[in-house]
Chain A
C-alpha cells in the first residue's frame, strides 16, 4: 500500500461527492472524483486506487458496469469497491455483492459512517503487507 491511500469517488451528485471527498481528505486520503462512468473507469485503470466508491446511477457507464469491468481486468480486480445507491432494495444488495462489491451504502449517506467503512476496507487490505508472515 502507498503511504497515502488513494480513493476514487464516482458520483454525479456534486454535493455528496464534495462532502465525501472533504471528509476523506481530512482523514489523510488522496481523493480523486469523477461525475461520469467512463472517466471514473479510466481513473481507476490509470491510478489503481486503494478503494473505489461507485454510484449506481451515473450518465454513460453505471456503477455496476464499472464494477463488472473492474472485476474482468486483472489489474483492477482486487480493488475493493463500495457501491452507493439511492435504491435500497434487496435486489440491488444482492447484485452489488454478486458482482464483487465489498460494501453497499444507500443514499442519503452519512459521510462519517462511509469514511469508517473506507478506513476499515483500506486497513484490511493493508494487513497482509503490514504482517508479511501472516
Chain B
C-alpha cells in the first residue's frame, strides 16, 4: 500500500516543526541555564565583596587566632560559606609568614580542610583535583597522608594537584613523598614540580643527579633535565653537566652551558672557558653569559677575546658578562673596546684605500 503524497508531505512538515520545536526548547533551556549560572556567580561575587573587608581587617590587624575565628563566626553567615572559602583562598595564595599561619588555622577550624580531605577521597576527578589543590593553598599539614594516597590516582590532574600541594605544604613527609613519586614518574610536566620549588632543592638534588647520570635519548627531555640540574644549584652536579658539553648536539651543549652558570659554583668555570671556543655561536653566547653570572674573574681574558668574536651576538654577550664583573671587568671591557676600535681603524682605512683604487663608473677599463 502506498501513502498519498499529501499525507507524506504533511508528516514531513510535522516532523520538521517538531524537530525545530525541540531545538528551540533546547536553546531556550541553555539560555535559562546560562542566566541562572551567571546570577549565581554574580550573587557569589556580591557575597565575596561583602566578606572581603572583614577578612582583610582580620589579616592586617593580626588578630589572635581565636579572636579571628570568633569574628568570622559572629559576622559571616553560614550560608556564605562558599564565598568565605573563596576569599580566604585568594588571600592564602598571596601571603606568607604570620598571615599565612593565621589563615591555615582558620581553614582548619572552619572545617574547610576536612571538607577538602573528604573530597580528595570520594569526589569525582575534577572536584578531587580542585580540593587537592586547595589543601596545598591552605598549607594543611594533616592532609599529607591523603594527598600521598591521591598520587596513585589514574587522573593526571589529580596527581599534579596533589604533587603541587605536597610541595607547598613542604613538611619532611610531604617532600619525601614528592621526591619518590617524581623519581618514578617519567612525565616532564610532573618533573617540573621539582623546578618550581627551589626551597626543596636540597631534597631533590640526589634525584636530579641520578637523572643527569642516566640521561635521555630524547633531546627535549635531555635539555629539560639539564635545565633542572642548573636550577638545583648543586655543586655536585657540575661534573655531570660538564659531560654534556661534549654532546654532538648544539642545543644540548647550549643548555649545559646555561645550567653550569646556574649552579653558581666556580668549578663550572673550567668547562665554560673551554666552551668559549665552541664552533656554535649559541654555545659561546651561553658560556659567556654563564661566566658573567658566575662573576668568574679568571674568565676576563677569554671574555676579552670574545669581544672580537666573529659573531656579533657573542661580542655583545661577552660585553654584558664583563660588565657584571665589577671594576676589573669594566676596565677590561673599556680596554677591549678600545683595542677593537684600533683594530678596526686600519682595516677601515685600508678598505677606504681599496675603494679609492677601485675603478669608478666613469673610468675606462
Contact = CB atoms under 8 A, between A and B. Distances in A.
A26 B53 CA distance: 13
A91 B293 CA distance: 8
Interface residues of B, number: 21
A90 B264 contact: yes
Contacts of B61: 26
B258 to A, nearest CB: 12
B57 interface: yes
A111 B293 contact: no
A108 interface: yes
Contacts, number: 52
B100 A108 contact: yes
Counting contact residues on chain A (CB < 8 A from B), the size range is 10 to 19
A48 to B, nearest CB: 26
Residue among B56, B95, B97, B264 with max Cβ neighbours from chain A (10 Å): B95
Contacts of A127: none
Contacts of B97: 110, 112-113
B341 interface: no
Contacts of A19: 56, 59-60, 91, 94-95, 99
A31 B60 CA distance: 14
Contact of B60 (A26, A107, A113): A26
B86 to A, nearest CB: 11
Contacts of B213: none
A112 B62 contact: yes
B60 A16 contact: no
Given A19-B95, A91-B293, A111 B90 contact: no
7 contacts: A13-B94, A22-B56, A90-B293, A108-B93, A108-B94, A110-B99, A111-B99
